[in-house]
Amino acid sequence: MSKKLLIGTGVAFSLLFSSFSQAFAEEPTTGERKQVDNVAHRGAAGYAPENTIAGFDLAVDMKADYIEIDVQRSKDGELVVIHDTTVDRTTDGTGKVGNLTLQQLQQLDAGSWKEESFAGETIPAFEEILDRYHGKVGILIELKAPELYPGIEEQVAEALKERNLDQPQNEKIIIQSFNFQSMKKTDQLLPKVPVGVLTSNRTHTTAEALKEFSTYAEWFNPSYGIVTEEVVDQVHAQGMQIGSWTVRSQEAADFLFDMNVDAIITDYPDYVDPRN
């Protein structure tokens, strides 16, 4: 069954279910919260150096539902996990990610800039992250600046297929990007893997824009500054889910709970954990 058909079936079931819910269920009382996915942004980036094993392990310990990772490519063609397109801010080196080999990248210290106790953390390889965390925690994979790395979509797809992570229900894997063409391509390469579009641009929240995104994306993931109840309703009306970023305060988390989003992408997973 195609992904679109699966989604259509899902929407039909959810409509059926929601009418039963409306008929038989009480509205949640004040203080109750719906289940929201807790996504640890770049690992638990508020507490540990972003995009490192220390940060991702901490996110797992903090019971996040997903870790969010940024994927780029080294000079010698290896997929690596780092946010900026240069190593300058988050390591003790300098230069563009794409101008350094995997070996050169992995010799850098990616922890000390955050705190001396994290000295020795390194830039992880993408496949290392898949192998270490799949089955343990969901992985929200962002293709960062994919226009700099032609063919990165195929490489990511291959790595997922090798591990059978391209199949629905196997593991929690989502791929997202600010580059919409890249996500269209990813949707074609990996029809069973949910795809997300990232934006902080209000013009992408119109009904027309959301309808276009829904032709290939399952997630609409905006910065929280452009989230309103109306946007959330329209995203849901198009059969997509909404995950919003980047939460760095309890107030921001509470705002997104109130907006009824489906996922909160946060540097501080404890702000989203309902047990706190």
Name the residues annotated as catalytic.
Answer: 41, 83
User: Looking at 65, 68, 166, 187, which residue binds ligand G3P (CB under 6 A)?
Assistant: 68
Residue 245: contacted member of ligand G3P, Ca ion, none (CB under 5 to 8 Å, by partner type): ligand G3P
Total Cβ atoms within 10 A of residue 35: 8
Q: Does 153 bind Ca ion (CB under 5 A)?
A: no
- Rule CB under 5 A: is residue 121 a binding residue for Ca ion? no
Our finding on whether 204 is near ligand G3P (CB under 6 A) is no
Q: What is the largest CA-CA distance in the chain?
A: 61
267 touching Ca ion, by CB under 5 A: no
Binding of residue 142 to ligand G3P (CB under 6 A): yes
Applying CB under 6 A, among 66, 126, 213, 245 the residue interacting with ligand G3P is 245
CB atoms within 10 A of CB 182: 22
Binding mask 218-237 toward ligand G3P (x if CB under 6 A, else -) reads ---x----------------
Residues 68 and 40: beta-carbon distance below 8 Å: yes
Binding flag, residue 142, Ca ion (CB under 5 A): yes
Q: Is 40 in the site for ligand G3P (CB under 6 A)?
A: no
Which range touches Ca ion (CB under 5 A), out of 62-70, 131-139, 178-186, 268-276? 62-70
Choice from 265, 266, 267, 269 touching ligand G3P (CB under 6 A): 265
Nearest to 139 by CA among 228, 249, 40: 40
Partner that binds at residue 166, options Ca ion, ligand G3P, none, CB closer than 5 to 8 Å by kind: none
Which of the choices Ca ion, ligand G3P, none does residue 265 contact, using the CB cut-off of 5 to 8 A by kind? ligand G3P
Q: Report the C-alpha gap between 129 and 134 in whole angstroms.
A: 8
Please report whether residue 65 would count as binding ligand G3P according to CB under 6 A: no
Residue 73 engages ligand G3P in binding (rule: CB under 6 A): no
Binding site for ligand G3P (CB under 6 A): 41, 68, 70, 83, 142, 198, 221, 245-246, 265
Binding site for Ca ion (CB under 5 A): 70, 142
